[in-house]
Amino acid sequence: MLASIIDGSGLPVSLVGSARSGSEALDLIPRLRPDICLFDIQMDAMDGLELTSRLAHVLDYSPRIIYLTAFSTFEYAQRAVKLGAVDYILKPINRKELISTLRGAINHIQAQRLDEIDREQLRERLQSMIPAAVTNAAPAGENHNATIARIIRRFVDEHYSEKITLTDAARIVNLSPGYLGSIFKSAFGISIRAYMRSVRIARAKELLHDHTLNLSQIAEAVGYEDLNYFSDAFLQETGIRPSEYRGGGRRWVK
């Protein structure tokens, strides 16, 4: 029945395999490497929750998991969520509900992959800036660490609206995130995170003078996907909310 629903769903997904037990699935999944797994919670010998727990120790990635079960107790739902379930579907299975849940899982996977592409492009741009430090093409008297810190600051200045983390930057320059953070703070007296926030908020303050832009658009333009997170960062940096900075008490569209 599940195979029939999946085949007829029209979604960009295909069934790559099926297992008759948890132990069979534990052997099959590492070889097939599915993006999405549909597990029944009640199975002989090894239930779906135990299967998920064991897979975490043998897989180098995290498939999206949807549990199918006749058990409707909250305890099972809690355990499923803690183990990384995307959703929890009760039997008898509703075709529309299953397709909707699969669509949500697919959308999440596609968004993750696009995000990974964006991050890889950012890493490549940062990598192209590093040779100056590696080849000692730095101002006279500047040591290697100071040069690395200066390049990271320049990268933040140019790419503050994009997604890159301290871990990404540290991996490129072959340093631990903690050490890269320490040399940046030693060079400029501020953490990379705080410097990134200051650059973003400075640009946001400029954009807030343009009343054709709403707060969500401004937040996105300076690298914040969540409006509340942007508002909190603005408050930490300036002492007031972006709406207060913009309107002096006037109500502007969010």
Task: State yes or no: pLDDT of 36 exceeds 70.
Answer: yes
pLDDT averaged over the chain?
Answer: 82
> For residue 20, which amino acid is it?
R
Q: Name the pLDDT band for 119 (thresholds 50, 70, 90).
A: low
Quick one: pLDDT at residue 72?
A: 64
The reply to whether the predicted model has a pTM over 0.75 is no
Quick one: pLDDT at residue 199?
A: 94
Q: Name the pLDDT band for 252 (thresholds 50, 70, 90).
A: very low
Question: Per DSSP, what are the bridge partners of residue 66?
Answer: 38, 87
* Residue 87 near residue 104 (C-beta atoms within 8 A): yes
Report the C-alpha gap between 66 and 151 in whole angstroms: 44
- Supply φ then ψ for residue 183, to 5 degrees: -75, -30
Q: What is the DSSP letter of 204?
A: H
Task: State yes or no: pLDDT of 233 exceeds 50.
Answer: yes
Over the Cα atoms of the chain, what is R_g? 24
Mean pLDDT of 102-106: 90
Quick one: pLDDT at residue 32?
A: 94
Q: What is the DSSP letter of 105?
A: H
List, in order of start, the domains of the chain with CATH numbers.
Answer: 2-112 (3.40.50.2300), 130-189 (no CATH), 195-247 (1.10.10.60)
